[in-house]
Structure 1
Amino acid sequence: MPQLHINPALIDWNGHQGLPRFDLVKDEDFAAAFDAAMAKHDAEIDAIAANPEAPTMENTVVALEIAGDELSRISALFWNKAGAHTNDVIQALERDIAPKMSRHYSRFSMNEVLFKRVDDLWAKRDTLGLSVEEGRVLERHWKGFVRSGAQLAKPEQERLAAISERLASLGAKFGQNVLADEKAWDLVLTDEADLAGLPPFLREAMVSAARDRGHETGYTVTLSRSIIEPFLTFTERRDLREQAFRAWTARGANGGDTDNLAIVRETLALRAERAKLLGYDSFAAFKLDNTMAKTPEAVNGLLMAVWEKARKRALEEEASLAGLIAEEGGNHEVMPWDWRHYAEKLRHRTFNFSESELKPYLQLEKIIEACFDVASRVFGIRATELKDVPAYHPDVRVFEIHDEDGTLKALFLGDYFARSSKRSGAWMSSFQSQHKLTLKNGAEGEIPIIYNVCNFAKPSAGKPALLSIDDARTLFHEFGHALHGMLSDVTYPSVAGTGVARDFVELPSQLYEHWLTVPEILQKYAVHVDTGAPMPKELLDKVLAARTFNAGFATVEFTSSALVDMAFHTRTSVEEPMKVQAEVLEGIGMPQSIVMRHATPHFQHVFSGDGYSAGYYSYMWSEVLDADAFAAFEEAGDAFDPVTARKLKNNIYSVGGSIDPEDAYKAFRGKLPDPEAMLRKKGLAMLEELSGSDA
């Protein structure tokens, strides 16, 4: 039997409260386990398709929802390791497994007999007496089949399957190339002159990075955002800024085996072909058909409306920085490697505080506490850390999440520090989603097991980790995603938690960021690392006043990336991606002093898989919603107003994709927001910085 080839620890999660026993899983276990689990899933699918009884929700849709449980568990463990703690063995497996999994799911989605059962249910859906959630789940399955080619002729189906398999391989390789470039580069500094301007917290992080990279002495600049950004901000050495900046922005474009340009070219061609096979004018039209935005025109309309205002603000900011350079006796223009450095000086002058002055008040431990405290006050949950429960890496922390009545609601894992085995950025994912279905083993539903991954600089042994304000926002952002998963209260796993439209999924995360800068939260948790004294009111007021500082820069960085993403995916042919990128940036008047937040060769949101392909705009789309959503608390006069919080929990955070996102939002707020809410929040009048490093 296939089961014999699977290490039981991969599928029988008998650790604390159902956690996997990570310590019993070995890298070499995965290959055989995937083969066995896919074979078992195939058998389950064949049994559903061959059921002689007429199709019902129970014998078809519910059966599909609980099929493949072993494959899901093995996949969750593997993809967690591939992203958060990889190695050569895992990367080789990833290159093999990604196309194999694509092939497997293509067989599943092109099973004619199975689709006929789902199609029969879809055709008579209005007579089945379905609940709203059941209707959404049926629609999701039916659309999933159709968007995978179930209605195409056999030759087109086979071509679509081949495209999907190749895209899976390309996406895996793209991400591995970026990680390889990040691991391969570092800048070791040994002379005191090379460290001019670097504050103690950054020097300590660079010492830790140096030792982690095997350097016995010196200070190391890496391409981890938690080190490279503060280095670009504080170093007085313009030559070193340029050197580090060019390495950071060249990831994926260094030639040789890790160059991503050929991958991008082939990916775009295959995506365009896939869309055409399915009857769409472009890949963007295909991707957006299942979102709130609906059309590329709607997306570009929002992006361009913001772009014009953001560009104007950025040019004003650039002029201020140029004045500062001239004042210091410099005779150079503002270049991209200059911006953060002089913006920090300007912020210090304008608001009389610096990032280095703020950072001692932003301890990782305290910001984690703040995240949990806000969740308790808004959603009524309580977190308890488990000190003796092993996770997938020694740095990972495990928490139980309990509801107001003491019921275990979820398990949460926090993986906060950068390491060379982890891809860059920050994200939320799950080992297990919440649902209430009865599984084949008799279990009645499952609690969610959610994890956050960040890349904060790890301090030297015995030292506390200190965050920037952007790091702190990132932590709140990812915990907002985690809450979306942990507060889920639905029946079907496919619509649990973050199983929502791509341009709705960022609402819970971006909304949660707002509570970081609620004054009483900062007053309570922003305490000095050495004295324990709370942040002085004078400094707190300056921080709040500076929230929209440098916002033109931040929004230009983001919006240019989103516009390039849309340009790639609205065209039927892209022969030279970098030429298209250059044409788009020239056409919108991109300032020479700013670069895209994610240039094409390392744009992992878009090319390391297709999760955010033709979808990077969704951070801004969701920001339209989050600006209006937090205004509900402001209108109530209390950031923790219990009536508003209850409506938020019941209509946004707990319902997942079980109802239409527009209906969910209107149930909370009574109406859909106007984009003006976001523009007011941003200030355009005063642009608020886009934050959350997974943006």
Structure 2
Amino acid sequence: MNTLLEEFKTPLGTIPFDRLSNKDYLPAITSAIANAKKTVDEIVNNPETPSFENTIVALERSDEQVNLVSNVFFNLNSAETNEEMQEIAKEISPMLSEYSNDILLNEVLFHRIKTVWQQREQFQLDTESFTLLEKTYKSFTRNGANLSVEDKAQLREIDKEKSKLSLEFGEHVLKETNEYFLEITDEKDLEGLPEGIVEAAKIAAQERKKENSWVFTLDAPSYIPFMTYLKNRSLRKELFKVFGSRAAKGDQNDNQAIVKKIVQLRHQRSQLLGYATHAHFVLEERMAQSPEKVGEFLSQLLEYAKPAAQKDLEEVSAYAQQLDGLNELQRWDFAYYSEKLKKEKYQIDDEILKPYFQLENVIEGVFQVASKLYGLKFKTREDIPVYHKDVTAYEVSDDNGKYIGVFYADFFPRKGKRNGAWMTLYKGQKKVNAEDKRPHISIVCNFTKPTATKPSLLTFNEVLTLFHEFGHALHGLLADGTYESLSGTNVYWDFVELPSQVLENWVYEKECLDLFARHYQTGEKIPETLVERIKESATFLEGYQTLRQLSFGMLDMAYHTQNPENIENVIDFELETLKETELFPKVEGSNVSCAFSHIFHGGYSSGYYSYKWAEVLDADAFEYFTEKGIFNREVADKFKKYVLSAGGREHPMELYKKFRGKEPSIQALLKRSGLVKA
């Protein structure tokens, strides 16, 4: 029998990681898909009149086994993978796509769903059930279920072409990023770079069989420190120009034609489905709701960010002039001089802060925050199986000792684990026959491991990362929905970052830091003066950074809110679109669009605005806490009820208004960012 298909006889029904092997996955997913298809066939062939229960709820429950098996497999493929698993992934991914397409293209099934949708009034559904019905119906219509046979065929062609081009776009950017390197042979040219970066450049040179030299690449861990710390201006300029012209040089890796084609296909697809533009199609399922609302949001922020950005630029220019007699600050100078100015102004860096942030204390701190706000208790359970010895499993309960869920923490880098930090779930929360099935949630990070002589000490950014991911974990753990597809973090994309980003705010508060920020050698609490400097430095150059983010959001919306036939030339179109946000002289050959992977290769098209949108939400929400006290249980209870526990049961704007008593306003973010006087 397959371990993944049996009932788990483990503490709290946790995944039996200790009994899993690679040979389980493919048979388990094959069997789970077959079972799900059988259930769908039963729904389709049900002789009874279609109803909410026998069609919508039955479909919702049909893929529970598929979800469980694919969650376990893909989570481990990110956190504890090997070559064999990566090969299995290549087989499983297309199987899941095909399974999902089979359902979305099942005309008889859609006919039943449409019947329920058309008779929705007579079912007297509560808000959550109505949301499930609408979401199910829309998932079919947004994939062309209402189209004629000819139009359906055209939609499939568009989708095929679109995904091929998106893949090509990504490959071109990757090629341009990977094929280039800058070799430095004179040690004097490395002046300013931190020791760790020089060592990494030495290793990169050795990997390329380059003796007595240092190699820098266009990958972020090499490129960003190079631009930030390297004193040699002409080398900064050289690397900057290569980075800025990726996939825009008119050669075989050029993405200009691909950008135009992707934008055209998206427009055609949206029109076929009855939407004015691609942005209208995407934003129908976002908290922001419409391109007009997003445009207004970006314009409002621009009004405050632009003058602040100009002031930031003047300050950095004056500093560069005073320090090095630089007459005209260029783009490749900005990161270098702003970093120097920041150091001088705030006299704060990671080496000063790290001793106060021992990992064990920070974990204890985040648990205390969860306890003070939501009454949660985290108890280590050594009897719960884990997939690696570095992983810790906790049982989570509330004030009254009621079981809330399982929480896994996986904090250290290792071979077979991808970079970065993320939250994920092994089991989602749902209610079946009045029984509340509780969630199993995990957060995965890559912090420095402790050594025999030194504990794991976090940078301030890593502390923010831990709080951020833990905010997502709370959203999953406190879920209280009936249907798994609407529970926990299953919410609109521009709402999902609210629980994570809002929790970061506590890290800037002395009252919170005093719970855990103690010097690992002396036990001294973090001094007030350091906390003040952290807060001040957090808004350094906020005007400039905001303007930069707005420019990406505006470019994204410009591509997706008009008829693409207006776009004759990608480079000219970009220049025209960004003239309002441009503060530097034009750099010949540079272009954002051709390497704008977020919108042409990732899933952010018509969605880049959501980075700033989430900041507006979290600043506005946290302002409510600061008005009443950052550990005020009354506000925390409302946040739990209307945000953390509510999942996607109704429109996020409605939920937010129930929590806050009003729509979010940009004022709290403007104050926090220092763009207006607090």
Global fold match (TM > 0.5): yes
More displaced stretch, 411-420 vs 482-491: 411-420
Tell me which of 590, 599, 603 is aligned to 1:606.
Answer: 599
Q: Secondary structure at the match of 1:586?
A: coil
Q: Secondary structure at the match of 1:431?
A: strand
CA deviation digits over 1:59-116, x for unaligned, max 9? 1122111112232223323443555566666666656655553343232123222222
AA aligned to 1:324 is Y
CA deviation digits over 1:501-549, x for unaligned, max 9? 2222222222111111111222343333554432222222222233311
CA deviation digits over 1:347-383, x for unaligned, max 9? 2333343454334434444433332221221111122
Tell me which of 626, 634, 637 is aligned to 2:626.
Answer: 634
TM-score of the superposed pair, with normalisation by structure 2: 0.85
8 Å CA contact 1:14, 1:20 repeated in 2 = no
Check 1:572–1:40 CA distance in 2 against 1; reply closer, same or farther (3 A cut).
farther
**Who is 2:555 aligned against?**
564
Tell me which of 308, 312, 325 is aligned to 2:307.
Answer: 312
AA aligned to 2:120 is R
- Determine whether 1:68 maps to 2:59: no
Aligned counterparts, 1:287-436, within 5 A: 287-331=282-326, 333-386=328-381, 391=386, 396-416=391-411, 426-436=421-431
**Who is 1:692 aligned against?**
none
**Who is 1:691 aligned against?**
none
Offset of residue 605 of structure 1 = 4.1
Structure 1: distance between partners of 2:403 and 2:207: 37
- Determine whether 1:674 maps to 2:665: yes
CA deviation digits over 1:280-309, x for unaligned, max 9? 121111011122322112102211221243
8 Å CA contact 2:306, 2:543 repeated in 1 = yes
More displaced stretch, 389-398 vs 566-575: 389-398
Structure 2: distance between partners of 1:255 and 1:432: 48
Offset of residue 615 of structure 1 = 1.3
Structure 2: distance between partners of 1:34 and 1:260: 37
8 Å CA contact 1:397, 1:414 repeated in 2 = yes
Check 1:313–1:239 CA distance in 2 against 1; reply closer, same or farther (3 A cut).
same
AA aligned to 1:515 is W
Structure 2: distance between partners of 1:426 and 1:108: 33
Offset of residue 558 of structure 1 = 1.8
Structure 2: distance between partners of 1:23 and 1:304: 54
- Determine whether 1:449 maps to 2:462: no
Offset of residue 139 of structure 1 = 1.5
Check 1:587–1:319 CA distance in 2 against 1; reply closer, same or farther (3 A cut).
closer
Structure 2: distance between partners of 1:683 and 1:143: 41
- Determine whether 1:437 maps to 2:432: yes
AA aligned to 1:565 is D
Structure 2: distance between partners of 1:210 and 1:17: 50
Tell me which of 102, 108, 111 is aligned to 1:113.
Answer: 108
8 Å CA contact 1:174, 1:608 repeated in 2 = yes
Structure 1: distance between partners of 2:169 and 2:391: 26
8 Å CA contact 1:206, 1:221 repeated in 2 = yes
Structure 2: distance between partners of 1:579 and 1:430: 44
Aligned counterparts, 1:117-196, within 5 A: 117-164=112-159, 167=162, 196=191
Please give the root-mean-square deviation of Cα atoms over the aligned residues, in Å.
4.3
Aligned counterparts, 1:235-250, within 5 A: 235-238=230-233
Check 1:53–1:478 CA distance in 2 against 1; reply closer, same or farther (3 A cut).
same
Q: Secondary structure at the match of 1:383?
A: strand
AA aligned to 1:615 is G
Structure 1: distance between partners of 2:388 and 2:570: 38
Tell me which of 12, 31, 36 is aligned to 1:41.
Answer: 36
Structure 2: distance between partners of 1:215 and 1:457: 29
Structure 1: distance between partners of 2:624 and 2:368: 20
Tell me which of 44, 48, 61 is aligned to 1:53.
Answer: 48
Structure 1: distance between partners of 2:572 and 2:561: 15
Check 1:415–1:8 CA distance in 2 against 1; reply closer, same or farther (3 A cut).
same
CA deviation digits over 1:154-185, x for unaligned, max 9? 23223334544555566677668877887888
More displaced stretch, 180-189 vs 486-495: 180-189
8 Å CA contact 1:473, 1:513 repeated in 2 = yes
Structure 2: distance between partners of 1:223 and 1:74: 37
Offset of residue 276 of structure 1 = 1.7
8 Å CA contact 1:102, 1:164 repeated in 2 = no
8 Å CA contact 2:542, 2:675 repeated in 1 = no
Offset of residue 386 of structure 1 = 5.0
AA aligned to 1:487 is L
8 Å CA contact 2:298, 2:554 repeated in 1 = yes
Aligned counterparts, 1:205-216, within 5 A: none
Structure 2: distance between partners of 1:447 and 1:306: 40
CA deviation digits over 1:611-633, x for unaligned, max 9? x3211212322333222211212
Q: Secondary structure at the match of 1:613?
A: coil
8 Å CA contact 1:185, 1:222 repeated in 2 = yes
**Who is 1:514 aligned against?**
505
AA aligned to 1:626 is D
**Who is 1:285 aligned against?**
280
More displaced stretch, 282-291 vs 306-315: 306-315
Q: Which has the larger radius of gyration?
A: 2
AA aligned to 2:610 is S
Structure 2: distance between partners of 1:435 and 1:270: 38
Structure 2: distance between partners of 1:246 and 1:423: 29
8 Å CA contact 2:169, 2:600 repeated in 1 = yes
Check 1:212–1:369 CA distance in 2 against 1; reply closer, same or farther (3 A cut).
farther
Structure 2: distance between partners of 1:171 and 1:671: 39
Check 1:91–1:686 CA distance in 2 against 1; reply closer, same or farther (3 A cut).
farther
CA deviation digits over 1:172-203, x for unaligned, max 9? 77668877887888889999757644567878
Tell me which of 569, 574, 578 is aligned to 1:585.
Answer: 578
8 Å CA contact 1:205, 1:458 repeated in 2 = no
More displaced stretch, 466-475 vs 224-233: 224-233
Check 1:463–1:651 CA distance in 2 against 1; reply closer, same or farther (3 A cut).
same
More displaced stretch, 410-419 vs 663-672: 410-419
8 Å CA contact 2:653, 2:663 repeated in 1 = yes
8 Å CA contact 1:253, 1:259 repeated in 2 = yes
Offset of residue 119 of structure 1 = 2.1
Aligned residues: 674
Offset of residue 473 of structure 1 = 2.5
Structure 1 runs not aligned, ≥5 long: 688-695
8 Å CA contact 2:475, 2:499 repeated in 1 = yes
Offset of residue 263 of structure 1 = 6.2
Q: Secondary structure at the match of 2:408?
A: strand
Identity across the alignment (%): 38
8 Å CA contact 1:517, 1:544 repeated in 2 = yes
Offset of residue 646 of structure 1 = 0.8
Offset of residue 655 of structure 1 = 0.5
Structure 2 runs not aligned, ≥5 long: none
Q: Secondary structure at the match of 2:619?
A: helix
**Who is 1:620 aligned against?**
612
CA deviation digits over 1:593-641, x for unaligned, max 9? 999xx9545555434453x3211212322333222211212221x1001
Q: Secondary structure at the match of 1:150?
A: coil
**Who is 2:477 aligned against?**
486
8 Å CA contact 1:205, 1:457 repeated in 2 = no
Offset of residue 49 of structure 1 = 1.4
CA deviation digits over 1:317-340, x for unaligned, max 9? 122222222222253643444333
Structure 1: distance between partners of 2:346 and 2:212: 37
8 Å CA contact 1:65, 1:492 repeated in 2 = yes
8 Å CA contact 2:331, 2:584 repeated in 1 = no
8 Å CA contact 1:433, 1:485 repeated in 2 = yes
8 Å CA contact 1:435, 1:492 repeated in 2 = yes
Check 1:79–1:123 CA distance in 2 against 1; reply closer, same or farther (3 A cut).
same
